Every structure is written in C-alpha cells, then in structure tokens.
Structure 1
Amino acid sequence: MTIVDFNSLASNKQEAWKSSVVGRVGSANIKVLRMDDQPYAEETHDYNEALLVIDGKLLLRVAGREITVESGQMYLALAGTPHSVLPGSYGSLVIVDA
C-alpha cells in the first residue's frame, strides 16, 4: 500500500484515542487515531513523538503550558517531556514514534 488516507482511517475507527500502526519507516511507527473532544491523560515517553494534526485541532498541556496544534501542523514531544491532551481536541491525528 503506498497511498494512505489518514482522514478515512481515523474516521472509521470505532474507539477514539486508540491508535493503529499504518506503516513503518526505518524503526519509526506511523500511527493514526481519531480524537473525540475528550481529554487524554498525561504521558511521558523515552523516545521523541511527532503529533501531526491531519484534520481538526489538538489541544495539549506541556510543562504547564497550553499549546494548540492546528490542522496541517505538528508538535514534536521530545523524549522525557510529559504531555497531556486537553478537552476539545477533535479530528484526525497521525503519530510518528520509535
């Protein structure tokens, strides 16, 4: 498969915030998920995580600061950085991680 329609994949997911791997590049996973206005608890990873908003809006709290990631934008959560999703996030999200 060479063409991936992230919006279709995300909108067809029954469970929000549950990602599925759609491909790999080197050791990195490419995942897609559907955001549904609900918050997602704080997490910290030992790897960098790219959060690319394909459609909609992602509202993050990072180190006590609120960050809005709009459609077409990406936030790079560096390894060891605690981050959580605030209420009001919606749309299609692509995650790239190791």
Structure 2
Amino acid sequence: MRGIDIAEKLAQFDEHWSPKTVATVNDYDVRLVKVEGEFVRHQHDDTDELFLVIDGELTIRFDDGEVTLGPGELYVVPRGVYHQPVSAGETSVLLFEPSGTVNTGDSGGELNAERARI
C-alpha cells in the first residue's frame, strides 16, 4: 500500500482546467487541477464544490463579491451559486465533488473536461 503523492500526480500533466481524479471517497472524487487565466462562469444545481489551493493563488468571483485563496486555504461554493475561478498565474487546486460533476457545470463549452483518472 502507498499513499497518494500530490506533487507526483501534478507532475503527470500540464494542461489547465482539466481536472484529474486521484482518489474516490464513496461517490465523491478527489481531483487535482492546474488553472491559469479565467474559467467560465457557471453553477452546479445539485452539489457544493470544495476548492483547496495547493500552490499559487485562486480567486473565485461571485455575483456579489469574490474570495481569494492562497496555499492551504479552502472554500466551499454552495450548490446553485454562480462562480468563476480565476488565476493570474499557474495554480494547483484540489477539488472535492461528486464523481459525476461536470467541471463547467451548466455552462458547457470548450473547457468541458471528461472525467479522467491518474
């Protein structure tokens, strides 16, 4: 048996906004994603979404404000709340959400990523 080395997993991919599942807890995925620039504004009708910054800085914009997270900080976006993740430089983030959650929520589009496990 061996634990999951987050740095090792992050070194396995370079693309941005394409989450990779590294573990499953019941019906939830633990996903790693590298982000840079602006993601699409979207919401998830049926689930909350946890963002935990591993390195870098992530801002999550909302209709009525924003939250900025640094390494070791997390934020849970409640279900049904429109949000837009943004990062000025490359940032690594751990996501925790139901396995069937689509990264672009109700927005779809070219940044929609298929579920991938590494």
Match for residue 91 of structure 1? 91
CA distance in structure 2 between the aligned counterparts of 1:31 and 1:9, rounded to whole angstroms: 10
Write out per-residue CA displacement over residues 9-68 of structure 1, whole angstroms, 9 at most, x where no aligned residue: 2243121110011111111111001122x1101110120110010111111102331210
Deviation at 1:89, TM superposition (A): 5.0
> Could you state the TM-score of these two structures normalised by the residue count of structure 2?
0.73
Structure 2, unaligned runs of 5 or more: 99-118
Structure 1 stretches of 4+ with a deviation exceeding 6 A read none
Q: Which has the larger Rg?
A: 2
> Could you state the TM-score of these two structures normalised by the residue count of structure 1?
0.87
Match for residue 41 of structure 2? 42
- Structure having the higher strand fraction is 1
Match for residue 55 of structure 1? 55
Counting matched residue pairs gives: 97
Structure 1, unaligned runs of 5 or more: none
% of aligned pairs identical? Answer: 24
Match for residue 25 of structure 1? 25
CA distance in structure 1 between the aligned counterparts of 2:42 and 2:62, rounded to whole angstroms: 10
